[in-house]
Amino acid sequence: MEYLIACDLEGIHGVVGEPNKGLLKELPDYKLAVTNAEKEINAAAKALFDSGATKVVLWDNHGGMGNVNRDNIDSRVIHIDINAIKGYPRYDFAREHNFAGIVYIGYHSREGTLNGVLAHTFSSVAIQYMKINGKAVGELEIDSYICAKHGIAPIFFSSDDICVAQFKETAPNITSVITKYAKGRNAADFIDEDKVLEDIYNGVCEAVKKNNPLIPMTTPLELEVRYTRMERAAEKFKLANDKNIPVRYGEDAHILFFEIDKIDDIPFFT
Q: Which of 83-92, 192-201, 228-237 has the lowest mean pLDDT?
A: 83-92
DSSP for 128-189? EEEEETTEE--HHHHHHHHHHHTT--EEEEEEEHHHHHHHTTT-TT-EEEEEEEEEETTEEE
Closest CA to 122 of 10, 264, 38, 260: 10
Q: SS3 helix, strand, coil % of the chain, rounded to 5?
A: 35, 25, 40
Note the pLDDT of residue 27. 81
DSSP for 62-126? STTS--S-GGGS-TTPEEP-HHHHTTSPTTGGGGGS-EEEEEEES--PPTT-TT-TT--SS-TTT
The 8-class DSSP code of residue 2 comes to E
Q: Is the pLDDT of residue 12 over 90?
A: yes
**Mapping DSSP to helix (H, G, I), strand (E, B) and coil, where does residue 60 land?**
strand
Query: Which phi and psi angles does 101 have, rounded to 5°?
Result: -175, 165
pTM above 0.85, yes or no: yes
Spans of all domains in the chain = 2-127+136-209, 221-269
Note the pLDDT of residue 23. 74
Taking each helix axis as running N to C, give the angle between helix 29-50 and helix 193-209, from 0 to 180 degrees, rounded to the nearest 10.
40
The domain 2-127+136-209: what is its CATH number?
Answer: 3.40.50.10780
Report the percentage of the chain scoring pLDDT > 70: 99
Note the pLDDT of residue 160. 98
Q: Is the pLDDT of residue 124 over 90?
A: no
Q: Is the pLDDT of residue 236 over 90?
A: yes
Note the pLDDT of residue 26. 77
Mean pLDDT for the stretch of residues 246-261: 98
Strand order in the sheet with 135-136: 135-136, 127-132, 221-227, 255-260, 247-249
pLDDT band at 257 (very low <50, low <70, confident <90, very high): very high
Note the pLDDT of residue 158. 98
Mean pLDDT for the stretch of residues 244-270: 97
Mean pLDDT for the stretch of residues 224-253: 98
Note the pLDDT of residue 24. 86
Report the alpha-carbon distance of residue 66 to residue 42 in Å, rounded. Answer: 16
